[in-house]
Each structure stands twice: as C-alpha cells, then as structure tokens.
Amino acid sequence: MKKLMISGALAHKPLNGGNAWSRLSWIQGFRRLGFQVLFVEQIKAQQCVDAHGHPTGFSSSANLAYFQAVMKQFGLEHTSTLLCDDGQVWGLPLEEATRWARQSDLLFNFGGHLTQLELKQAPARRIYYDDDPGFTQFWHAAGNNPGLAGHDFYFTLGENIGDPDCPIPTDGIQWRHTRPPVVLADWPVCPPKPFDRFTTIASWRGAYGPIEYGGKTYGLKCHEFRKFFTLPQRTPAACEVALQIHPADKKDRDALLAHGWQVIEPHTVAGSPDAFRRYIQNSAAEFSPAQGVYVGTNSGWFSDRTVRYLASGRPALVQETGFSRHIRTGAGLLSFRTLDEAIAGAETILRDYPEHCQAARRVAEDFFDSDIVIATLAAAVDLKLP
C-alpha cells in the first residue's frame, strides 16, 4: 500500500475543533483513496501548557492530551507522531517515523510545519500547503518565511494568486491552486431545521498582525467584521458568533453585544472535532466576514469552516474574496462585499431556506469533495492513486 506523510499544527491548538478538522480532512481523504498516512507534528517544550494555559511539561500538557484524544478517535494512534524538541515523543517512535518517511511517495506539509530534516527530505515528493494566502507570500517577499524552502510543489487556497488583479507576490514560486476538501461521509447532510440563527466560529484577531506591502496595509478579520456590526438590527434573523476575543478587545465585544450579536465561547461549543461538527450542524446557516488580507488582495481564498456548513446542508453567506470566480454562488452559497449586500443575502436565504439547504450540499459535492480535490492535486504532482 502506498504511504505518505502529512504534517501540521494540531496539538499547538488544543480545544480548536475547526483547526483539527482542517488537518483531518486531508488525512481522511487520502486514507479513503487507499493511502497509508502518517501524521507528524513538532512542538517546542516552551509551547506546552496545561488546561489553564500555564506552562507545563510535555507529558502533562493539554497539547499532548488533545493530540492523543484526536488521534485515537480517528484511528491514528499507531500512525501518528508528536515530536517535542526536548526529545520526548508520543506515538510512532522517531526511528520508525523516519523509516516511514523513506518509504513515502509524498510529504504534505501544512505551512512548512515539518522542519526535521531527516523526515522532511526523505519522501519522494514534498508539497508545501498554504492555507494562509497573502501572509505566506508577503512574508516570503520580505525574506521572513524560510519554511517555504525544500519543497517540490507549492499549493495555495488563494485561487487568484498569479492573476493580474491579485497583488499577492509570487516571488518566483509557481503557486498551484487547490481547495479545502471535505470527506462527505464525515459530514453527512442534515435535514433543514426551523431557521433560528446565523452562526460562525472565529478568532477576532488571529495569530498574526496586519501586513504592509507595496504601500498598502492589509488588515485582519476584526477590521472587516466591524463593517457588519449592525447586521442583526437590519435582518429578522438572529446572529451568533463563537468568538475567541482577547479581554483587551472589550470595546469590540461590547459593540457586538450592543448591536444584537450573541457572543459565545468557542472552546465550549467547538473545542473538539465532534463539538465543532455539532455546532455547525445545529446552526441554521453561516454568516461570516473574512480576514482583511484575503479580502483586500482578491486572493480567492475560501474558508475550510464554510465548507463544513455547506456539506452539512447549511447555507453560507460569506464575504467575497474573489472566490466566486471559481465556485458557484447564488444558491446555497452567497457572497457579499457591502452591508447592503449582506442584508440582501440574508433575506434571500430566509425566503427560500429549504431550497438553499439542498443547494448548499450540492456546492460541497461539486467543488469540495475530497475525492475530487485530492485526485486533482495528485495528478498535478504525478502521484498515482492506489
């Protein structure tokens, strides 16, 4: 059986079910097509924390506990490795992981996460997977992204990168385009329910700051979200966000509440893969702005989270990043640029909700089915399917 390796940050983000699914869908998708997959993650001892966020040792960390729980749930406890830089390892020992790497047809490397040379250099092909288009390329152009080196192929969720109207620099790299996959069996369609609320799951600022390039500053999700504060007051539907927001942003949180947003804790409702799935499938539809850098660059980025709503038969109303050039919109999936367009989109979904639920699933099947996404990627790198 063909072997491959996937590497990305999962233990780094305990109690983040959405981040886990972004890794798991590639793992599950490759396994579904007949590959044996080893998932490898590296973590620094100084990044290990307990359940309260306080520094602790690797063996007692919430990071390790979360990694173990997710791997065991998905039957990966014997085909996964968590490497700590202090020499501790959970899962497949480093010696066996290295042997696996040498037998692998492919390394699929989320954001260049895997840097351990003995593992990284051994597979026959190495793919760098960019799920943060704009950030990745702007950093590289500034000489601040060494993790890009040492790969044979470069894939990005920014489907417009390389087009004349997308200012994201390619900097000599041939960026190929892909989409976030969903294993449809993992995300079964749910019958329409009485419409109660639009929801989304978000980080107010995320891990990175604004980016300046070519004399222009590209902002974060908070900068876009503020443009739509008044949406709950302009539409009959309730609006809820499971929001990770720092106490220093209390003014923004208060503004959300004052304008009618329901704000809840994401770790509580979406901290595990199962909880994340339940939250989405118990929602009526999604409403979400996007990161400012994705919007301002016309990147063509599309949200991994939104794909889950669509697969579940839940309509999505999301901010335009240029993705409608490649993905069907108008039924099930609606895009907006302005507040008025967002209001109109919400009214459209409310008016024909059952039809939009059915159309949402069709969009997922036509554009994000893992079988299609992975087969297309494999053909581009001459990787034969088992």
Domain span holding position 231: 184-367
**Percent of the chain at pLDDT above 90?**
97
The residue assigned the tokens 């990627």 is 377
330 and 196 in a common domain:
yes
For residue 302, pLDDT over 90 is answered with yes
Measured CA to CA, the distance from residue 161 to residue 176 in angstroms comes to 9
Average pLDDT over residues 75-103: 98
205 and 68 in a common domain:
no
239 and 148 in a common domain:
no
CATH number at residue 213: 3.40.50.2000
pLDDT at 207: 82
217 and 136 in a common domain:
no
Q: How big is the CA angle at 99 (ends 96 and 103), to the nearest 5 degrees? A: 140
For residue 179, pLDDT over 90 is answered with yes
User: Which token pair is 89?
Assistant: 């390892």
In order, the DSSP letters of 86-136 are TS-EEES-HHHHHHHHHTEEEEEEETT----HHHHSSSS-EEEEESSTTHH
pLDDT at 288: 98
> What are 93-123's pLDDT values in tens digits?
999 999 999 999 999 999 999 999 999 999 9
Average pLDDT over residues 167-174: 96
Position 199 in a domain: yes
Position 214 in a domain: yes
User: Which token pair is 12?
Assistant: 């780094």
Measured CA to CA, the distance from residue 321 to residue 165 in angstroms comes to 12
The residue assigned the tokens 């491959």 is 4
At position 4, the amino acid (one-letter code) is L
234 and 344 in a common domain:
yes
pLDDT at 227: 98
Give 268-272 contacts, CB < 8 A, sequence gap 24+: 269/242, 270/16, 270/17, 270/18, 270/201, 270/242, 271/15, 271/16, 271/17, 272/15, 272/17, 272/20, 272/69, 272/70
Measured CA to CA, the distance from residue 349 to residue 331 in angstroms comes to 8
Of the pLDDT bands very low, low, confident and very high (cuts 50, 70, 90), residue 226 is very high
CATH number at residue 87: 3.40.50
> What are 138-156's pLDDT values in tens digits?
999 999 888 899 999 999 9
296 and 319 in a common domain:
yes
Measured CA to CA, the distance from residue 47 to residue 315 in angstroms comes to 37
141 and 207 in a common domain:
no
The enclosing H or E element of 80 equals strand 80-84
Instruction: Output 147 or 335, whichever has higher pLDDT.
Output: 335
The set of residues, in sequence order, having a beta carbon less than 8 Å from that of 304 and lying 6+ positions away, is: 18, 21, 22, 25, 131, 180
Measured CA to CA, the distance from residue 145 to residue 142 in angstroms comes to 8
Q: Count of CB atoms within 10 A of residue 7's CB?
A: 26
Position 386 in a domain: no
297 and 162 in a common domain:
no
Average pLDDT over residues 302-308: 98
Of the pLDDT bands very low, low, confident and very high (cuts 50, 70, 90), residue 37 is very high
Q: How big is the CA angle at 281 (ends 279 and 286), to the nearest 5 degrees? A: 80
Nearest to 7 by CA among 107, 102, 94, 118: 107
Q: Provide the mean pLDDT of the chain.
A: 97
pLDDT at 377: 98
238 and 156 in a common domain:
no
For residue 41, pLDDT over 90 is answered with yes
DSSP letter at 50 equals -
For residue 315, pLDDT over 90 is answered with yes
The residue assigned the tokens 């799920």 is 131
Position 270 in a domain: yes
Question: Based on the structure, what is the number of domains in the chain?
Answer: 2
Measured CA to CA, the distance from residue 230 to residue 247 in angstroms comes to 22
128 with 112: CB under 8 angstroms? Answer: yes
Of the pLDDT bands very low, low, confident and very high (cuts 50, 70, 90), residue 1 is confident
Position 144 in a domain: yes
231 with 342: CB under 8 angstroms? Answer: yes
Nearest to 166 by CA among 252, 293, 60: 293
> What are 369-382's pLDDT values in tens digits?
999 999 999 999 99
198 and 245 in a common domain:
yes
Phi-psi region of 87 (alpha: psi -120 to 50; beta: other; left: phi over 0): left
pLDDT at 174: 97
Measured CA to CA, the distance from residue 256 to residue 261 in angstroms comes to 5
pLDDT at 330: 98
Average pLDDT over residues 10-26: 97
296 and 156 in a common domain:
no
97 and 49 in a common domain:
yes
pLDDT at 151: 98
Position 385 in a domain: no
pLDDT at 46: 97
> What are 251-265's pLDDT values in tens digits?
999 999 999 999 999
Task: Look at residue 199 and give its three-state secondary structure.
Answer: strand
